[in-house]
Structure 1
Amino acid sequence: MQDTHLIPLPSLCTHYEIEMSFFDGLNDHGLIEIVSVEKTYCIHQDKIADLEKMIRLHQDLHLNVEGIDAVFNLLDKIDNLQTELMIAHNKLKRFEDF
């Protein structure tokens, strides 16, 4: 990872008006990966979209870290089921064409 692709967590705390302990909780539950660069904790910019979803769940729905973890696990299962359904649909379509 290049340092240019890392965003310092203190600036995210200021921008989103959220405590550093929230990010620590997300890291403890394996929802984000915090990287330390020169004594500054950072997150990779590719993970910002997921992080923003987590922040919205926390701020808008008042979910704690455990709730956010449950929501992301359910969303992951939904994505997997949709993929499996699409594969099954494509296989069925192949047989209907005969």
Structure 2
Amino acid sequence: MENDQLIAVDTFCTYYEVEYAFVESLRNSDLIELVEINSSRFLHIPQLQRIERLIRLHRDLEINVAGIEAIDNLLARVDYMHREILSLKNRLRFYEQEL
């Protein structure tokens, strides 16, 4: 991945006012991926929207990392089911047009 698609974890933590330990705990729970370059850790910029959601869950709702992990899993399942429903609706429209 290009280096222009990365942001240093230290910069991220300063900007979003989160502790480095929280970012590490998200990584340890496999909720986010970090890239290590020259002993510095970086986040993928395309992940920022997802990470911001995780931070809001932690800050605003005071949910711990285990709870965030469960919620993230449920949201992923809801998203998958939503895409599956849209696909099935499209297939149904195809067959309805043939009638």
Tell me the TM-score normalised to structure 1 length: 0.90
1:96 and 1:45 map into 2 onto residues whose CA distance is 42
C-alpha distance after superposition, 1:7-55 (max 9, x if no partner): 0011111111111111111111111111112221111111111111111
Alignment of 1:5-44 (within 5 A): 5-44=5-44
SS across alignment from 2:62: coil
> Which moved further from structure 2: 82-91 or 1-10?
82-91
**Runs of 4+ that moved beyond 3 A:** none
> Which moved further from structure 2: 67-76 or 85-94?
85-94
Tell me the TM-score normalised to structure 2 length: 0.89
SS across alignment from 2:7: strand
2:11 and 2:87 map into 1 onto residues whose CA distance is 42
* Structure 1: gaps (5+ residues): none
2:90 and 2:5 map into 1 onto residues whose CA distance is 38
> Which moved further from structure 2: 8-17 or 81-90?
81-90
State the identity %: 36
1:71 and 1:20 map into 2 onto residues whose CA distance is 22
Q: Which amino acid aligns with 2:45?
A: Q
Question: What is the CA distance between 1:88 and its match in structure 2?
Answer: 2.0
1:10 and 1:76 map into 2 onto residues whose CA distance is 28
Aligned to 1:81: 81
When the two chains are superposed, the root-mean-square deviation of aligned CA atoms in Å is 1.3
* Structure 2: gaps (5+ residues): none
